[in-house]
Structure 1
Amino acid sequence: MGDRASATLADKVRLAVRAQRIDPVAETGEVQRIAREVVREHDQRSLTGSVSALSEPEVEVERLVADVSGLGPLQPFLDDQTVEEIWINDPARVFVARNGTHELTSVMLTTEQVRELVERMLSTSGRRLDLSTPFVDAMLPGGHRLHVVLEGISRGFAAVNIRKFVAAAHTLDDLVGLGTLDQHAAHFLAASVRAGLNIVVSGGTQAGKTTLLNCLASAIPGSQRLISLEEVYELQCRVPDWVSLQTRQAGLEGTGEVTLRDLVKEALRMRPSRLIIGEVRAAECLDLLLALNAGLPGMASIHASSARQALVKMCTLPLLAGENIGSRFVVPTVASSVDLVVHTGMDPDGRRGVREVVAVTGRVENDTIETEPVFVRRDGRLERAGGIPARRDAFVQAGIDLDELLGTDAWAAS
């Protein structure tokens, strides 16, 4: 069936959807019903020879639903569980990533199609894209993250990225099954969360930081109240008492912006037992440190190439908060506020795994925060190293025998 005929059928479905006041995103089943009726009517007309017959009516129904309710030519990639990310460099160059490697697809779009897809994706997000706001981060209804750079900032065409949230793991035990963690390290991290240690998850782009943060949050005791703060909703915690907050862009008048720094301050008024920041990128790192230093257990993720670099970055970002913030205050605050750094990475073959778990001793020597490796990856396995978390009292209060948990006696004997 030709593209023109397919477009005609799609127009009929859209008209029927509007006439019946159906929300195409929320009522996909109704859109499918209308698409079947339109295809059935077309098949009946084909018997008279007035239109060409459909070779695969069911395939055409799926395509119509994707055009009206979904993302048209991109919808098959969203439905494909092996696809991790989709991006458009220009309408004729659409890429996808599978298992950490990317490939050019055969999809060919037009500039108008890309513009329509972006508008459709943003329509449910409450976020906007225009000359005054040429970048946008938004969450799609399926939980996927959208990032768009407007043409003019991006050369020639708008640059579009859709990072899919493929929930392959919800708990630390799930990560063990995937080979991301080893069982011993998983037990230690779960106990550390229960004990209220402050944990930073570090890694590069697509290294699995958000998934690891979700799995760590699954170990939070159900009696505690969790407040999570993000630029765009990505965390999917399974804590019964959980409130999720996200930032907001400024309106057309330039007012109404809500930043991560604002959210940290508001979260502290909401009686949290735990605080999670999806990712610290700028001055909100200072507000997080102040909250942790005051005794509120928390977690966060940060872009870094190693656990050591994560701590260096956490000592640098607070300086963006103002000229009155100096390293003489920040470095010891980081040393006393962060207990563990869990660094995750991705192999060239696309396999994700925790590279190291590092304990922060609380000591600072020549402006360098001292650390001890608790687990390190050797020969594909996350093995026990000699480090021990500094806050033994937290484990004692939680009823956890740290020496038994880590096998400290056996380690010392060896």
Structure 2
Amino acid sequence: MIIRHPKKNLAAVAVSDVPAPPHNSRASTEPTSVQRAAPTRPVDTLGTQNRRLIRNQLYDQIDPLKAAALGRDALRQQVEAVIRKICDDSRLQLSRQEEQAVGEEMLNEMVGIGPIQPLLGDDSVNDILVNGAGQVFVERYGKLELSPITFIDEEHVFNTAQRIAAAVGRRIDEAHPMVDARLADGSRVNVITYPLAIDGTTISIRKFMRRNMSLDILAERGALSFEMAEVLKRGMLAKLNIVVSGGTGAGKTTLLNALSQNISDEDRVITIEDAAELQLQQRHVVRLETRPVSAEGTGKVDQRDLVRNALRMRPDRIILGEVRGGESFDMLQAMNTGHDGSLCTVHANTPRDAIMRLENMVMMAGMQLPLEAIRRQIASAVNLIVQVERMRDGGRRIVSITEVCGMENDVIQTQELYGFTTSSVDADGRLVGQFNASGQRPQFYTRHAHLFTGGQ
């Protein structure tokens, strides 16, 4: 057994990503396969001081340089042996269950992201929200609930945040108190710390969905009707430019993934995101990701830079994860110059609001275009606006499919094809409603009738 202190005759643990003791933030994190959460209550009964004592002594006895050969199961055995020796030396009385719980917690510290690592393996959890050391909330099925999981102290939370940032080459400290990052499994992470976060380091994780849902699966789950799914499939087949609109956590990325499943394997697709989340299955996909400014104040690459570069890469379709600035002008230009079938998302509460947001963001590009010219760009570029909403029962639904029909005078004309109407609330608090067709025939059905068999 390899140990840091041979005279103690303790088992050594070995992994390539063992973090340094709490005062050292240089180690990285590589989430590995996650097992079910170990019981958290037995760990909590130890008290903060004992948890800190075990953690610090364990790190003192780890030799990470000679440890890379051990797998998770072998590492678990070694960690539990070291913990047992620490408890004997310190006269801590732990049951077998408590030793296993502490061992699992320490294991998650070494090869994951600490106490919240088990939540990444829980498919019922969509969001993980750490509000300082004593509060970890999770979102399940659209509802927030307080988890029993806690951190030891603020230093523990901050050290975890530093490892998350270091894993993607970024830093979090008082000089750089905010950071956006991505875990190895694709989950998005936002961290904000002192002095901006007054009550302690806050970590917000939007989990990467391993299940890549299709439009049909979403329809089966009640997010839209099968008739609406068919309209969207035809829109993708006809290479319509589609804007997915909705609020935070409404399911825009999930819908974007579902729409992308209807892209031809023959198309060259370029995706542009702040944090890569899209799960395209096509064989010809190029993924681009923005880069923040470095510690030296250089090296920033934003979405507008990437959109401009993508136009030189011979794309058939461009998928922009989220439009929120001057890149909207370049995206509209791309949609108007032969890159049909492009997709993007925008934060807005209604389809009309989405159009207004696009207008405002084009103005942010500094092109000094008159409003009428901007509206004509939007009217000729965008074909469909799909509005998604996280409703008060936690359910995510497509509440509107709206077709952009062109310009009349200086107003963009639209027609709603489908909408969702709430009729009641059932005994469990779930909304009961209907997806309704407006009766309007989509204009693109006529323009692309040759593509559809058994047409409407």
**TM-score, normalisation: structure 2:** 0.80
**Residue 112 of structure 2 corresponds to which residue in structure 1?**
70
Question: Residue 314 of structure 1 is aligned with which of 346, 358, 363?
Answer: 358
Maintained 8 Å contact 2:54/2:86: no
**Residue 448 of structure 2 corresponds to which residue in structure 1?**
395
Deviations 1:73-121 (A, max 9, x none): 2123222222221222332232222222222333443110111110111
Q: Assess, with a 3 A threshold, how the Cα gap between structure 1 residues 394 and 228 changes in structure 2: closer, same or farther.
A: farther
5 Å-filtered alignment, 1:47-58, equals 52=93, 54-56=95-97, 57-58=99-100
**Residue 183 of structure 1 corresponds to which residue in structure 2?**
226
Q: Does 1:381 align with 2:423?
A: no
SS at match of 1:271: coil
> Partners in 2 of 1:88 and 1:256 — Cα distance?
30
Q: Assess, with a 3 A threshold, how the Cα gap between structure 1 residues 31 and 384 changes in structure 2: closer, same or farther.
A: same
5 Å-filtered alignment, 1:279-318, equals 279-297=322-340, 298-318=342-362
Quote the offset at 1:169 in angstroms: 4.3
**Residue 80 of structure 2 corresponds to which residue in structure 1?**
39
**Residue 364 of structure 1 corresponds to which residue in structure 2?**
408
Structure 1 residues not aligned, in runs of 5+: 408-414
SS at match of 1:258: coil
Q: Assess, with a 3 A threshold, how the Cα gap between structure 1 residues 325 and 15 changes in structure 2: closer, same or farther.
A: farther
> Partners in 2 of 1:285 and 1:205 — Cα distance?
19
Relative to structure 2, which stretch is displaced further, 102-111 or 308-317?
102-111
Maintained 8 Å contact 1:229/1:264: yes
Maintained 8 Å contact 2:418/2:438: yes
Maintained 8 Å contact 1:129/1:135: yes
Quote the offset at 1:167 in angstroms: 3.9
Q: Does 1:20 align with 2:66?
A: yes
**Residue 127 of structure 2 corresponds to which residue in structure 1?**
85
Maintained 8 Å contact 2:58/2:82: no
Maintained 8 Å contact 2:224/2:435: yes
Relative to structure 2, which stretch is displaced further, 367-376 or 348-357?
367-376
Quote the offset at 1:345 in angstroms: 0.7
**Residue 312 of structure 2 corresponds to which residue in structure 1?**
269
Q: Assess, with a 3 A threshold, how the Cα gap between structure 1 residues 53 and 376 changes in structure 2: closer, same or farther.
A: closer
Maintained 8 Å contact 2:212/2:279: no
> Partners in 2 of 1:283 and 1:214 — Cα distance?
24
> Partners in 1 of 2:187 and 2:281 — Cα distance?
18
Q: Does 1:116 align with 2:167?
A: no
SS at match of 1:146: strand
> Partners in 2 of 1:340 and 1:315 — Cα distance?
16
Quote the offset at 1:204 in angstroms: 0.8
5 Å-filtered alignment, 1:253-268, equals 253-268=296-311
Q: Assess, with a 3 A threshold, how the Cα gap between structure 1 residues 118 and 364 changes in structure 2: closer, same or farther.
A: farther
> Partners in 1 of 2:90 and 2:194 — Cα distance?
45
Relative to structure 2, which stretch is displaced further, 367-376 or 68-77?
68-77
> Partners in 1 of 2:86 and 2:375 — Cα distance?
75
Quote the offset at 1:6 in angstroms: 5.3
Deviations 1:343-392 (A, max 9, x none): 01112111111001011001234x32110111112352323223344445
Maintained 8 Å contact 1:13/1:31: no
SS at match of 1:142: coil
Instruction: Give the letter aligned to residue 35 of structure 1.
Output: R
Quote the offset at 1:128 in angstroms: 2.5
SS at match of 1:335: helix
**Residue 349 of structure 1 corresponds to which residue in structure 2?**
393
SS at match of 2:71: helix
SS at match of 2:167: coil
Q: Assess, with a 3 A threshold, how the Cα gap between structure 1 residues 136 and 364 changes in structure 2: closer, same or farther.
A: farther
SS at match of 1:129: coil
Quote the offset at 1:185 in angstroms: 1.0
> Partners in 2 of 1:342 and 1:310 — Cα distance?
10
State the number of aligned residues.
397
Relative to structure 2, which stretch is displaced further, 31-40 or 298-307?
31-40
Quote the offset at 1:217 in angstroms: 0.5
> Partners in 2 of 1:130 and 1:72 — Cα distance?
19
Q: Assess, with a 3 A threshold, how the Cα gap between structure 1 residues 111 and 214 changes in structure 2: closer, same or farther.
A: same
**Residue 410 of structure 1 corresponds to which residue in structure 2?**
none
Quote the offset at 1:395 in angstroms: 2.3
Maintained 8 Å contact 2:174/2:194: no
Structure 2 residues not aligned, in runs of 5+: 1-42, 424-432
Quote the offset at 1:48 in angstroms: 11
Maintained 8 Å contact 2:135/2:146: yes
Deviations 1:263-307 (A, max 9, x none): 001111111111000000111111100000112020001111111
Maintained 8 Å contact 1:227/1:276: yes
**Residue 11 of structure 2 corresponds to which residue in structure 1?**
none
> Partners in 1 of 2:183 and 2:90 — Cα distance?
42
Quote the offset at 1:206 in angstroms: 0.7
Q: Assess, with a 3 A threshold, how the Cα gap between structure 1 residues 50 and 129 changes in structure 2: closer, same or farther.
A: closer
Maintained 8 Å contact 1:361/1:389: no
Quote the offset at 1:188 in angstroms: 1.4
Maintained 8 Å contact 1:169/1:175: no
> Partners in 1 of 2:267 and 2:178 — Cα distance?
36
Deviations 1:159-183 (A, max 9, x none): 3211112344421111112111211
**Residue 227 of structure 1 corresponds to which residue in structure 2?**
270
**Residue 412 of structure 1 corresponds to which residue in structure 2?**
none
Q: Does 1:137 align with 2:190?
A: no
**Residue 411 of structure 1 corresponds to which residue in structure 2?**
none
Deviations 1:28-57 (A, max 9, x none): x72441221232466589899976454225
Instruction: Give the letter aligned to residue 400 of structure 1.
Output: F
SS at match of 1:123: helix
CA RMSD of aligned residues (A): 2.6
**TM-score, normalisation: structure 1:** 0.88
**Residue 335 of structure 1 corresponds to which residue in structure 2?**
379
Deviations 1:191-223 (A, max 9, x none): 111210000001111110000000000100111
